[in-house]
Chain A
Amino acid sequence: MYLNKSIKEINELLKNKTIKPIDLVEEAFQNIENNKELNAYITLNKEEAIAKAKELENKEVDNLLFGLPIAVKDNIVTKGLRTTCASHILDNFIPIYNATVVEKINEKNMIIIGKTNMDEFAMGSSSRTSYFGAPKNPWNKEKISGGSSGGSATTIAARDLPFALGSDTGGSIRQPASYTGIVGMKPTYGRISRYGLVAFASSLDQIGPMTTNVYNNALLLNALVGKDEKDLTSVRKEEEDFTRLIGEDIKGMKIAVPNYFMSDIVSQSITDKVKEIIEVLKSNGAIVDYIDVPYLENAVTLYQIIAMGEASSNLARFDGIRYGYSYENPDNIEDVYLKTRANGFGEEVKRRIMVGSYLLSGENAKVYYNKALSIRDDMRKALKKVFEDYDFIIGPTTTTTAYNLTDPMDDPLKSFMDDVLVIPVNMAGLPGLNLPIGFDSNKMPIGMQIIANSFEEAKIYKLASYLEKELNLSLNPNGGEDNE
């Protein structure tokens, strides 16, 4: 058992040849096997992973991530490894190129263990829209893991392996991280190349790291960022070490808590827990103010319009012509479209792309989409203004803790409301992180969101790690101890 050790310890063991990458890979696959009923994975990469681990035996251990297993959300394309987006329409799809982030983790010689379960095309908040069935919450197998990056959250929370990639369009990293008690970061829009991330809502999507602790999260982010010539929306920034502020004091830091985040839309056990944290922060020298931020309550509406509108266009390419599932006996070309898409997409996806098509049709684009872009810009400005006076915005990540897998799915608004607190961050392109801060009375994890100004991820890690150390929670659902 090595994977529960700290990354620095594992790195030492690899360097002095006490262990080999294959030991880590085998341990990860054993863990996944033991946790099979959690349904965290859609596809495992066993043969390739073992081959890669063996190949690494002859290579110099040249970085902290060398030889470490990682899970990749199944909407990030992996050359030669099935990528389904948890959809029937891609359930036979083998990509012929790698996403930029996959190239980057390959450069670090990390080993991809498998592709994680998710909501179909990342549309959902419980991973229950997956064609492959929902993953289960390691804290309580009756509960959802959240979504859409539910499989990545599950495998990390279950301690199968130390690293996973998720994607976050309207909270899809932070919300499942909160439900499963792990650390999940949605970086600033443009930080990480989206090339190879199957687009849901292009102006909101962002890939991010999901890990058991803050340090690992920052370490993985180091490997993922950078301007990519293949993604015009990626941003050129000077290279930095996101772990560099970890361990620094938070005295004098100014923190804003939007009143909306603490309003009655959030269950009391969660607001109580956040209030406790606020006291901890204050007693450690931070300054915390409650403030009003305009437009926060409009975020879900904006999100619905922008995300469904963009999705209706982004998912048009799945038509049964160039790749993927195609209706077997079409009479004509219209049949190819209509029946491929009717059979290939699940209900949530169909609902969203139909509504999205409506929102862009005729004059509606002006009435809805363009208007949403205008308001989004104002909302972004309003949030940016907060950062003229404050270092951070904090609040609960979710309004409740993880609910039952068997809860009804017939309310089309439910999945949006689950993300009401996390969506504003995507709207403004800001970085946001979920930090586990405790448990409710049912021993289900509660998460807090830490938001900073654009490109200030390092600062977020500083506050998060400070609290992580201060709270010193036992976050292993199997009961074992985690090392740093």
Chain B
Amino acid sequence: MEEALTKEEVLHVADLARISLTEEEISKYQVELKKLLNDVEKINEVKGYDDDILIACWNNNAELRKDEEGTMLDPKEVVNNAPRHSGNYIEVPVVISEGEGA
């Protein structure tokens, strides 16, 4: 097995995790992450299991909530904890592109 990830591979996972890295960190993680990933490969040695997936250690049916309103926060409380805010809004540096989600 390889001993280290390439620099590009480290930068890719750092980008997915949104963590900026120094050059020094990059070379450190090239080795450390690879060590973990090599260990994780052991999963391919496991044989004989069945393919069913269970999301977690329960198989209970989700208990649904009644559509009834509860208490909400005061907008002041919402913005007080935010590092940047303006009036009742939470603020971030301008976002150019549109969201990928909904």
Direct chain A–B contact by Cβ atoms under 8 Å: yes
- Chain A residues engaging chain B, CB cutoff 8 angstroms: 93-94, 96, 189-190, 202-203, 229, 232-233, 235-236, 295, 298, 301-302, 304-305, 308, 312, 316, 319-326, 330-339, 341-342, 345, 350-351, 353-359, 361, 368, 370-378, 380, 410-413, 416, 427-429
Out of B10, B33, B81, B95, name the residue touching A322 (CB < 8 Å). B81
Contacts of B1 in A (CB 8 A): none
Contacts of A373 in B (CB 8 A): 53-55
Q: Is the CB of A353 within 8 A of B19?
A: yes
Q: Is the CB of A338 within 8 A of B18?
A: yes
Assembled-state Cα–Cα distance A403/B48 (Å)? 37
Determine how close the nearest CB of chain B comes to the CB of A302; give it in whole angstroms: 7
Q: Which 5 A-B pairs have the closest CB atoms?
A: A429-B57, A326-B83, A203-B56, A338-B20, A357-B16
Query: Do most interface residues of chain B lie in helix, strand or loop, or is the interface mixed?
Result: loop
Query: Do most interface residues of chain A lie in helix, strand or loop, or is the interface mixed?
Result: helix
Determine how close the nearest CB of chain A comes to the CB of B2; give it in whole angstroms: 14
Determine how close the nearest CB of chain A comes to the CB of B67; give it in whole angstroms: 14
Assembled-state Cα–Cα distance A94/B32 (Å)? 34
Q: Is the CB of B57 within 8 A of A358?
A: no
Q: Is the CB of B52 within 8 A of A336?
A: no
B100: CB under 8 A from chain A?
Answer: no
**Which residue of B is nearest A201, CB measured?**
B56
Q: List 12 A-B contacts (CB under 8 A).
A: A96-B73, A96-B77, A308-B36, A321-B92, A322-B90, A324-B81, A325-B83, A334-B18, A354-B14, A410-B32, A429-B56, A429-B58
Interface residues on B, range: 35 or more
Q: Is the CB of B37 within 8 A of A355?
A: yes
Assembled-state Cα–Cα distance A320/B56 (Å)? 30
- Are A96 and B36 CB-contacts (below 8 A) given A233-B58, A305-B43, A380-B57? no
Given contacts A235-B58, A341-B17, A416-B39, 16 further A-B contacts (CB under 8 A): A96-B77, A190-B58, A203-B56, A301-B39, A301-B40, A332-B93, A337-B18, A338-B20, A354-B29, A373-B54, A374-B49, A375-B43, A376-B54, A377-B50, A378-B49, A413-B39
Assembled-state Cα–Cα distance A412/B95 (Å)? 36
**Which residue of B is nearest A428, CB measured?**
B57
Q: Is the CB of A377 within 8 A of B40?
A: no
Q: Is the CB of B35 within 8 A of A412?
A: yes
B102: CB under 8 A from chain A?
Answer: no
- Are A203 and B18 CB-contacts (below 8 A) given A94-B81, A96-B73? no
Contacts of A412 in B (CB 8 A): 32-33, 35-36
Assembled-state Cα–Cα distance A391/B18 (Å)? 47
Contacts of A358 in B (CB 8 A): 13, 16, 33, 37
**Which residue of B is nearest A373, CB measured?**
B53
**CB-CB contacts below 8 Å: B7-32 with A:** 10, 13-14, 16-21, 29, 32
Determine how close the nearest CB of chain B comes to the CB of A212; give it in whole angstroms: 29
Q: Is the CB of B17 within 8 A of A353?
A: yes
Contacts of B84 in A (CB 8 A): 321, 326
Q: Is the CB of A351 within 8 A of B42?
A: no
Q: Is the CB of B57 within 8 A of A189?
A: yes
Q: Is the CB of A355 within 8 A of B49?
A: no
Contacts of B18 in A (CB 8 A): 316, 319, 334, 337-338, 341
**Which residue of B is nearest A318, CB measured?**
B18
Assembled-state Cα–Cα distance A354/B26 (Å)? 12
Contacts of B43 in A (CB 8 A): 298, 301-302, 305, 368, 371-372, 375
Contacts of B92 in A (CB 8 A): 321, 333, 336
- Are A189 and B90 CB-contacts (below 8 A) given A321-B82, A323-B82, A338-B18? no
- Are A375 and B49 CB-contacts (below 8 A) given A333-B93, A354-B13, A413-B39? yes
